[in-house]
Amino acid sequence: MGLFWADSVPNKEKCCHKCRHEEEKAGSCPVAHSKKPKFDPNSFAGCPVMGKNRAKEGCDSDGINPLNNMPRNLNSEKLPGQKIELPQEKTKSTIPKGTDGKEGVWEYPSPQQMFNAMIRKGKGNVPEDAVESMVSIHNFLNEGAWGEILEWEDPHTKVSQVEPRLERFTGIPDKMSPRAKIFTTLGKYFPDKFSSTPPFDRHDWTVLRSNGKGGWRKVRYVIDYYAGPDDESTGMPTFVLDVRPALDNPVNAVDRVNHWWAYQGKPIWDKAMGRK
């Protein structure tokens, strides 16, 4: 999950977002409805390259782009023995990249690059005919994550009148977030309220928030990716994204309280006071 492409390195709640692949909700569904994709959440886990995965793949630090923890020169050519021709064109996201508007937006990898990355990780059982659908799901989820971040950032954006940007991101599926650990543990004792199934991936995104003076403040966001049950009406996979600013400082803590109050606290209080 979270493969963004960065060709160069620049110089130096509503907390749960449920993504359902339905045309009426997504506007234009990224998944072909004529064929249910053979989606395996573990296919995305551990991507981009991080920590021990680097050693496993034989990548040294010089071969890794620090913006996305991906190999700088990820092969986009068809692999030996590959039976299906996969598109090699990359898709642009809606997510602004870096501190300068001239840097444009992040790009998603092509289906061929995604397939090559998964094979590089040793996932040789990936069905070639499912790769394009997997890429569509991957892109759709990351757009959803950015949409959640924009909601979190909205109070600050209204003050600065400057839209946030994404500086970098890191995939760390081997390190479960404290919140995910709590939810997973609660799921063992309260299965009706919580799920004991851990997230299949975790990302930390470094978001650039304008300080209102022409500079930027870096805000770390934690994103846990959960696989939900297949949609009963369409049979399509569903996902839950738990997006929130990390508790790195008092400002982020206040943001989380305010966000909770706006979406849950106030309605609960109004109900307690007999208001509609």
Give domain limits for the chain.
16-272
CA 76 to chain centre: 22
Global pTM exceeds 0.85: no
Q: In this model, does residue 123 exceed pLDDT 90? A: no
Q: Residues 245, 250, 262, 266: is their CA dihedral positive or negative? A: positive
Residue 239, judged by CB atoms within 10 A of its CB (0-12, 13-18, 19+), counts as buried
Q: What is the pLDDT of the chain when averaged over all its residues?
A: 78
Residue 23: the pLDDT is 34
Residue 39: the pLDDT is 52
pLDDT range class, residue 276, cuts 50, 70, 90: low
pLDDT in tens, 259-268: 998 887 777 6
Bridge partners of 170, per DSSP, are 204
Residue closest to 136 by CA, chosen among 67, 86, 207, 68: 86
pLDDT in tens, 99-122: 988 899 999 999 999 898 888 877
Residue 264: the pLDDT is 79
Residue 61: the pLDDT is 46
What is the C-alpha separation between 171 and 191, in angstroms, rounded?
28
Residue 75: the pLDDT is 72
Residue 4: the pLDDT is 42
Q: Which of 11-20, 102-111, 221-230, 233-242 has the lowest mean pLDDT?
A: 11-20
pLDDT range class, residue 36, cuts 50, 70, 90: very low
Percent share of the chain, pLDDT over 70: 68
pLDDT in tens, 178-201: 999 999 999 999 999 888 999 999
